[in-house]
Structure 1
Amino acid sequence: MSTLLDPPQGLAIPMTDLKGRWGQLALGLVCMMAISSPQYVWALFTKPLLGQLGASLAQLQVTFSILIVLQTFFSPFQGYLVDRFGPRMLLSIGAILTGASWVLSASAHSVTQLYLTYGLLGGIGTGVIYVGVVGLMVRWFPRQRGFAVGMVAAGYGFGAILTTFPISSSLAAVGYAQTITMFGYIIGAVGLIAAQGIKRPPIEVAAQSVRVESRAAGIKPATMLKQPVFWLMFVMMTMMSTSGLMVISQMGAFAKDFGVASVLVWGMAALPLALTIDRFTNGLTRPFFGWLSDRIGRENTMAIAFGMEGLAMLAWLGLRSDPLWFVLLSGIVFFGWGEIFSLFPSTLTDTFGTRYATTNYGFLYMSQGIGSILGGPIAALIHQSSGSWIPVFGLMIALDLSAALLAFFVLKGMRARYMARTAGGV
């Protein structure tokens, strides 16, 4: 029986390379942890920013959408730059931009300034690191892509565990400006230091990747974009991104409306406690479901995970006024959501190869940007017009369950037919 470290038969990988890949995994994990806070602690900033800027919630949530849109819509170009100029330089620039986005947003006196700092700079900076790290991991771990991508993606989910309570406490003690300045310097420095050790895999690992591929060469982006199976994955990732990003961006608002935000659970306020648990489950789900998908198949795993999120959100809505269930179910919701960042890149690379993996994933990752618009300002407008979060939750539940059904009944067969048709080279 093969183990996680076994190379393919007939191709010996030196132990130094095996150590190298685990070192790269660790550095990629740190880089991802450093850039996670701009997205995952945003809900903590909405309340002080509403008072400071005098903007509506829908206007403020445009910042979050800009962050995600720029993180994603520029990702094909960012992936190309990483492939062209190397990961160390681009990831270093990404870390600097991410830290600067927080430091500069401390002095924002209008939503426009917030859009340009927190949104624009933060989106470009985090996008360079996210796409670059994921693209490297599918090359370093050709036989365990789901697990490896899940591990670094877990860093993006876990990272905010380290900052949620400190930022919450700092906001109460010294306010928004000092808090975001201090943490901006910290996350920028950590990401910059970790980026100095990032590198491409050596030729032996690249050769292993080719041996594992079902086709000798990867599919170019222009060819991939003509395939219906890519667009089905794009639609499904958009659906799942919308539901998760609605919760991330609106959680502070609907927790307050549900009357549970400040209620104590286990001696802690429900909202920051839920956000901390969410970061843990959002991180844990990525390597777990990535590992599971390496064994039972990508689409089968998608159906299980996506269905879990939809059912958990349904229960969450029904028990929304109970602070204990609010905290517990929020963790289950994120355990059913965060794995999209290991399952989709792994499925994409399985289908279209590793040669253009970073750029190809950049195109798929654009779906996250669309999801941020639908789950951010559009969801806020639906709430504003209806005066209730029930229509918003109902829409998100429908998206989750539909994506689960599409994975099992449509994507599975479509991808199998595509792989059979292109077997042996393209």
Structure 2
Amino acid sequence: MDTISNRTRWIQLALGLIVMMTISSPQYVWTLFVKPFQATTGASLPAVQVAFTMLIVLQTFFSPVQGWLIERFSAKVMIALGAALSGLGWVAASKVDSLWGLYATYGLLCGLGTGIVYVGVVGLVVRWFPERRGFAAGIVAAGYGMGAIATTFPITDMIAASGYRHTLLVFGAIMAVIGVVAALGLRNPKPSEIPAIPADKVASAARDVAPSVMLKTPLFWLMFAMMAMMSTGGLMVVANFASFAKEFGVADAIVFGFAALPFALTFDRITNGLTRPFFGWVSDHVGRENTMAVAFALEAVAICMLLMFRENAYAFALLSGLVFFAWGEIFSLFPSTLTDTFGTKHATTNYGFLYMAQGVGSLLGGPVAALIHDSVGSWVPVFGIAIGLDLVVAALAWFVLKPARRAYLGVEGPAVPAVAAPLAARPAV
């Protein structure tokens, strides 16, 4: 591959990262708007939180349809539309006064928009980087996980100075414009722009498998179950983080000159973003399943240590970052493993189906953890379940997924070579 083609795909990765950053804020700064929305609508907290649930559900459970639309039509046009919808959701939410208006704007528009962008960008970059799929998927996923760091403090200041309506209007418009402009520079790669995968890289599909065929394979459902369990276990901790920090008595303690809870939340967002390209890069070199086993076991150890030192504010703040570092990599490891296994032609739609596992985790993780806590009066069993799920999935990655993928791809022996056939030569299924 020539220098120009190589430069082009790095530009594509950068544009994908920018677009992903523009759709990060609707999820990660939602908490800043909850009380203003309550005051405006006169609704209860659970009723207002339905808008956030809609955002996540529409982003995840509609992703197969969104992926199909992206592959059916122009990728850049659909991703630009998604970025526009996400920003428009904020702009429209700045004008509403009713609960249903909030659902239709923040919930519906932002949910559909972020879903289109997320599956579209991930599906695009794994095509551009066949030999670095884990790293590429991790980079753009990090943009989604860390993008709100750039907006959290400005949004907080603008809400205080000008009110939440003006803030939604201004930032919604800014994010829409930046996202659309960056998206219009995206495109699918030409066969001549894609390098062959070196023989010492991870195993990769020699053919492209359509979604209808993929959904009939036990291998896909194994990956789906593993991602759903990791999402559920991780979100049991993530969704209730502030609650157990207060119960453990460390939320308002001072660490490194800051209150422990906001410090931990900021630190966690950073580690949750950095882990995605890091473990993706590691998996490109040592294998997907090997990396999964180590990372998922690391999360189990981190949660166990967090539980053991839960009343120490410093340990709580630092270990929570390790928990997030060992959890966020699912968003680079699973899409790259899926594309390695079922090919690139239908990568976007195929990942849309797998991404629904995150939706399962969002529905089960937070509510189930809260129910368990309320029934037993302690967060310890919740931590125990999360640790157990981590260890189960780590074992599945090593003992089940690894040999199952080898068998599916026709790979033998202890090494896991990649099939280096060029994209154009790979027959579709």
Stretch moving more, 161-170 or 77-86: 161-170
Residue matched to 1:380: 370
**Distance in structure 2 (CA, Å) of the matches to 1:103 and 1:205:** 39
**Aligned residue in 2 for 1:352:** 342
2:100 maps to 1:122: no
The one of 11, 14, 17 equivalent to 1:29 is 17
Q: Which moved more, 1:392-401 or 1:375-384?
A: 375-384
- Whole-angstrom distance in 1 between the partners of 2:146 and 2:212: 34
Structure 1 gap ranges (5+): 1-12
- Does the alignment pair 1:99 with 2:87? yes
Distance 1:28 1:214, change over 3 A: closer
Pairing 1:135–2:140 present? no
Alpha carbons 1:43, 1:248 under 8 Å: kept: no
CA 1:310 to 1:57, structure 2 compared with 1: closer, same or farther past 3 Å?
farther
Q: CA 1:111–1:120 in 2, change beyond 3 Å: closer, same or farther?
A: same
User: Where does residue 250 of structure 1 map in the other structure?
Assistant: 240
Q: 1:259 to 1:308 in 2, by over 3 A?
A: same
In structure 2, how many angstroms separate the alpha carbons of the residues matched to 1:66 and 1:42?
Answer: 12
Moved more, 195-204 or 209-218: 209-218
Which piece of structure 1 moves more, 137-146 or 113-122?
Answer: 113-122
SS in 2 for 1:338: coil
- 1:96, 1:192 within 8 Å by CA — same for their partners in 2? yes
1:235 is matched with 225
**Could you tell me which residue of structure 1 aligns to residue 289 of structure 2?**
299
1:401 equivalenced with 2:397 (yes/no):
no
| Residue equivalent to 1:65 | 53
The one of 186, 189, 201 aligned to 2:177:
189
**Which whole-Å deviations, capped at 9, do the CAs of 1:146-171 have from their partners, x for residues lacking one?**
11111111111221221233334445
Question: Which letter does structure 1 place at the counterpart of 2:122?
Answer: V
Mapped to 2, the partners of 1:61 and 1:250 lie a distance apart of 14
Mapped to 2, the partners of 1:394 and 1:181 lie a distance apart of 43
Distance in 2 (CA, whole Å) between partners of 1:303 and 1:193 is: 39
Contact 2:267 2:321 in 1 (8 A): yes
Distance in 2 between residues matched to 1:86 and 1:417, nearest whole Å: 35
Shift of 1:14: 2.5
Determine whether 1:338 maps to 2:328.
yes
> Please, which runs of 5 or more residues in structure 2 have no aligned partner?
413-418, 420-425
Does 23-32 or 155-164 show the bigger shift? 155-164
Give me the TM-score of the superposition, normalised by structure 1: 0.87
Counterpart position of 2:423? none
For 1:277-292, list aligned pairs within 5 A: 277-292=267-282
Q: Is the 1:95–1:126 contact (alpha carbons within 8 Å) kept by the matching residues of 2?
A: yes
Cα 1:54–1:257 shift into 2, 3 Å? farther
Cα distance change of structure 1 residues 50 and 380 upon mapping to structure 2, 3 Å threshold: farther
Encode CA deviations 1:271-311: one digit per residue, 9 max, x unaligned: 33222212211111111111111111111100111111122
Q: Is the 8 A contact 1:42 1:249 kept in 2?
A: no
More divergent stretch after superposition (373-382 vs 341-350): 373-382
Q: Which amino acid aligns with 1:183?
A: F
**Count of residues in Structure 1 that have an aligned counterpart in Structure 2:** 414
Identity of paired residues, percent? 59
Deviations 1:9-28 (A, max 9, x none): xxxx2322111100000000
Among candidates 345, 352, 375, match of residue 362 of structure 1: 352
CA positional deviation for 1:86 = 1.3
1:18-44 Cα shifts (integer Å, max 9, x gaps): 111000000001111111222223344
Runs of 4+ that moved beyond 6 A: 209-213, 421-426
Residue 402 of structure 2 is aligned to residue 412 of structure 1? yes
Name which of 211, 214, 222 aligns with 1:221.
Answer: 211
1:161 matched to 2:149? The reply is yes
C-alpha deviations, 1:349-399, integer Å up to 9, x for none?
Answer: 111111111111111011111111112334334444444433333322222
In 1, Cα distance between equivalents of 2:98 and 2:48: 10
> In 2, distance between residues paired with 1:162 and 1:32?
13
RMSD of equivalent CA atoms: 2.9
Farther-moved stretch of structure 1 (119-128 vs 416-425): 416-425
Measure, in 2, the Cα distance between the counterparts of 1:172 and 1:245: 30
Q: Distance in 1 between matches of 2:239 and 2:258?
A: 21
Rounded Cα–Cα distance in structure 1 between residues aligned with 2:40 and 2:384: 32
2:6–2:193 contact (8 Å) kept in structure 1: no
Measured in 2, the distance between the counterparts of 1:302 and 1:255 equals 28
- Aligned pairs for 1:202-221 within 5 A: 202-205=190-193, 208=196, 215-221=205-211
AA in 1 matched with 2:116:
V
Q: Indicate if the aligned counterparts of 2:15 and 2:185 stay in contact, CA closer than 8 A.
A: yes
Query: What is the rounded CA distance, in whole Å, between the counterparts of 1:379 and 1:55 in structure 2?
Result: 24
Residue 276 of structure 1: aligned partner: 266
> Are residues 111 and 358 of structure 1, via their aligned partners in 2, closer, same or farther at CA, if it must alter by over 3 Å?
same
What displacement does 1:69 show?
1.6
Q: Which amino acid aligns with 1:184?
A: G
Match for 2:408: what amino acid?
Y
Q: Which amino acid letter does the alignment assign opposite residue 356 of structure 1?
A: H
Kindly tell me: are residues 331 and 421 of structure 1, through their superposed partners in 2, closer, same or farther at Cα, counting changes over 3 Å?
Answer: closer
**In 2, Cα distance between equivalents of 1:359 and 1:224:** 11
